[in-house]
Each structure stands twice: as C-alpha cells, then as structure tokens.
Structure 1
Amino acid sequence: MANRVPLESGAFMRFLALVALALLAGCTPSNESQSNSLQADSDPPKPSIPDRKPVEYAVPEFKDSFVPHAVGNGNFEICLTDDAEENDLTAIMIPEGTVFQSWGQITGPLRGIQNFDRNTTSGEHAALQAYAVVTIESAQLSVKQPCHNIEARPVVNDSFGFGFDSVPFDRHLNFQAGGLMRVSGNYIDNPKLKEPLSSAFSGGYIVGTPTKNIGDGIRLDDKP
C-alpha cells in the first residue's frame, strides 16, 4: 500500500498555496486593466475626422470680348439679349429709374442666354452678391443698336437686399433689369409694369454690366 502524504504536511500546504495564487493571477484583472476597462466603457472611441481644407472657388475666366461695343460714355452698359428679337422685342426704351441686379460673373458674351455663373452670387460664395444699380438716364435699345452706355448709381435698400454702395468694375458681373422703381421722395416703389417693359424684364432680355467703378450710392427707404 502506497504511503499517503499527510494533509497537514508542510509540502502539501505549500502546493495548495501555489495553486491558489496561480488561479488568482489568471482570473483577477490587475488594477490597471480594471481602470482601462472602466475608461473604455465610459468613453467610447471617437471617430476619426479627416482634415478639411477650405474650398477654393475657381473664378470663371473673363474676356474683354464678352462685352460688346456700345455708344455713349456712361459707367453702365445695357443691352438687348440675342434672343430678344426671337421673342418679338426689336426696340424698347429703358427709362430712368430702371433697377438692375447682379446675377453672377459673366462667363460668355453679355448678350448671350444666361451667360453668368450663379456660384458667384449664391450659396457658399454669397459674399459676391447683392449688387444693384439704378439708371439715372434713359436709353433707346434696338436690334440695330442693341447696347448703350448710360449713367447709373448703386442702390442700397435693406428690404430688397441691396447692401453695397459701390459696384466694382473688375468683378465683371452680369446684371439683369428687375423692375422700375420710383426714386423720388427717397423711397422705393415698384410699380406695375406695362408692355413691353413687363415682358422684357420678366424674360431677362435686358442685361447690363459696369464699364467703370460705380460709386455715389443711393440709400432708399421702403414706400411709406
């Protein structure tokens, strides 16, 4: 019969102690791992965000040939568009007090159909918008003489969103006639237009662009 090792022997007790320590070391996480685990539970990992670079807007190339020759010596050139005649508009008197608003930088012949870039006047690049001028003299436009240089002044009015008291020539913006305003009594009134002005303005057949820097802005109030 083999000899049994007494349970109370020192060797056996040391063996049990070593086994217990091994089990504790394998099952019980260290303080550092407990701390890391709690931190992971309380602070979920943040998603990585790629570096964002500012969007650089490529300004359309402007060519002097886009603006046709015109009679007169004013600071603002107005024209009939090429498709005006196709829509039975062969001659029109543009009266004093006509308001033109910018629609974008010229990207083709001024008299072409919507040859402007709206990105220069809206959305992300809206800092280039809200230019408006009012004519201070009248001009006769026709198929034979479609363009005329006349005098204009910038218009400033909060309700209409006209916020600049000067218009830079080198911005090369395309303007369209938007309405006829009574610039008397220092207020703006947009009267009901008669033909052919109504069709000409609503159809976008009257366009313009500065030929010089235009200053001396007029601040107008709303109609009382």
Structure 2
Amino acid sequence: MKLKGSMWSCIGLATLLMAGCDKSPPISTAEEQPSAPKKQVAFQPDWVPKALGSGNFEVCLSNEAEENGVKDLILPVGMMFDSWGHMTGSLRDSKAFDGEGTSGFGKSDQYALALTARVHLTSDRPCAITQAQAVTHQGFRYRHETVPASLHYNFSAGGLYLNKKGGITNDMKGPAGDAAQIGLLSGTPISDVGDVYRATEDL
C-alpha cells in the first residue's frame, strides 16, 4: 500500500531526529562525485488498462483496493490529482512511479488536475476514462496550465478538491477522501489536459 502523504512526514521526522542526534560536521572527501540521475524507465502502453468512458484522463483503483475494503467508489467532480513522477509500471500498481522531479508538496514542477465529471469505480470495473482539467494555484505552486499526455506521469489523489469558493480544500471527507488518503487512486492523462482552472488562495 502506498501512503504517499505519510511518506513525506516520516522522511521529514527522520531528518530532524538525525540532525538532533548527530551534531558532528559532515565528512567530505575530494573523491566524492554527484550521483548520476536515475535512468527513466521506458513507458509501455499496456501499463494503462483498457477502460470504458470518454475524455482525457484515465483513473484506476489500485490493486490494494479490495484488501482495504474498497469495492465500489464514487469520485466527485472537483477531486484533484497531482503528479508523482513518470510511470514505471501498471496504473493499478500503487508503487509504479519514479518520483523524478514532480513529487512533493510545493514543488514548482508538479502538475495538478481535477475531475470535471463524476466517476464510478468498482471491483469489476476498477478503471474509467473521464474528463479532467489542469489546475493552477500559487500557494501549492501548481503552475502548469497544460498537462502533456506524452510525459506519461502517474497522478495520485491525496484528499485535495476544488471547493465552491474557487479555492482548494485539503481534507476531503467520505469514502473517496478515505481512499485518497491511503493512496488507492491513481490516474494518467491519455490526451493533453488543458482548460485550466485557476484556483484562488483560500484553503
């Protein structure tokens, strides 16, 4: 199971604890070299399951959904997804992303989008094609007005949604919010996502 939101909290806590325990200066040598960037895994079309519907975005329940008691789920209009890196495997694999350049709250190269149609996912039909729009927001540093499908990014729902005031709320309630919080929903653009929604600053 992927607990993306919790992952960053744990990393931050571990960093603070390590800093508090070890006050010695870092050891460096002239031999140290910057680490090489990870090689991107080549995208495979069969990573995106066949699904019914029409639109520019495919969304799926992860393979862990049933074991978490999620068999029938309605995703509301306005539910948001943001990018977690290039796909590295099936859209239904909760760990199939590389995190390169796009993951983490507040990163200016992260893409965001929101559903513009209600989506019904079940155990029998865990994936659906629907319509989405790009989202920009100054505070979250979502700055991209178009999400190119050619990037083959994995997008995850984390409990954010567009509220009726034109802003973003970060604590979606109900079954869809619960599924998002434990990382059971992923998606990817199947054609470019535009029609940008410029969210206001209130959360």
> What does residue range 94-105 of structure 1 map to in structure 2 within 5 Å?
94-105=75-86
Q: Would you say 1:132 and 2:112 are equivalent positions?
A: yes
Write the distance in 1 (CA, Å) between the matches of 2:112 and 2:158.
10
Structure with more helix by fraction: 1
Instruction: Describe the SS at the equivalent of 1:137.
Output: coil
| Structure 2: stretches of 5+ with no match in the other structure | 1-29
RMSD: 2.4
CA shift, 1:117, in A, is 0.3
CA shift, 1:178, in A, is 2.0
* Amino acid across the alignment from 1:178: G
Q: Is the 8 A contact 2:168 2:199 kept in 1?
A: no
Select the residue among 153, 169, 183 that pairs with 1:204: 183
Write the distance in 2 (CA, Å) between the matches of 1:194 and 1:54.
41
Instruction: Describe the SS at the equivalent of 1:117.
Output: coil
Write the distance in 2 (CA, Å) between the matches of 1:82 and 1:219.
33
CA shift, 1:118, in A, is 1.1
Instruction: Describe the SS at the equivalent of 1:165.
Output: coil
**What is the TM-score normalised by the length of structure 2?**
0.76
CA shift, 1:203, in A, is 0.7
CA shift, 1:164, in A, is 0.4
Range 52-61 or range 130-139, more displaced: 52-61
Select the residue among 43, 65, 68 that pairs with 1:84: 65
* Amino acid across the alignment from 2:127: C
Distance 1:71 1:130, change over 3 A: same
Q: Would you say 1:141 and 2:121 are equivalent positions?
A: yes
| Structure 1: stretches of 5+ with no match in the other structure | 1-48
Q: Is the 8 A contact 1:105 1:120 kept in 2?
A: no
The residue that corresponds to 2:44 in the other structure is: 63
Q: How many residues align?
A: 171
> What fraction of aligned residue pairs are identical, expressed as a percent?
33
Q: Is the 8 A contact 2:163 2:169 kept in 1?
A: no
Runs of 4+ in 1 over 4 A off after TM superposition: 52-57
**What is the TM-score normalised by the length of structure 1?**
0.69
> What does residue range 30-41 of structure 1 map to in structure 2 within 5 Å?
none
CA shift, 1:192, in A, is 4.0
The residue that corresponds to 1:214 in the other structure is: 193
Write the distance in 1 (CA, Å) between the matches of 2:149 and 2:168.
27
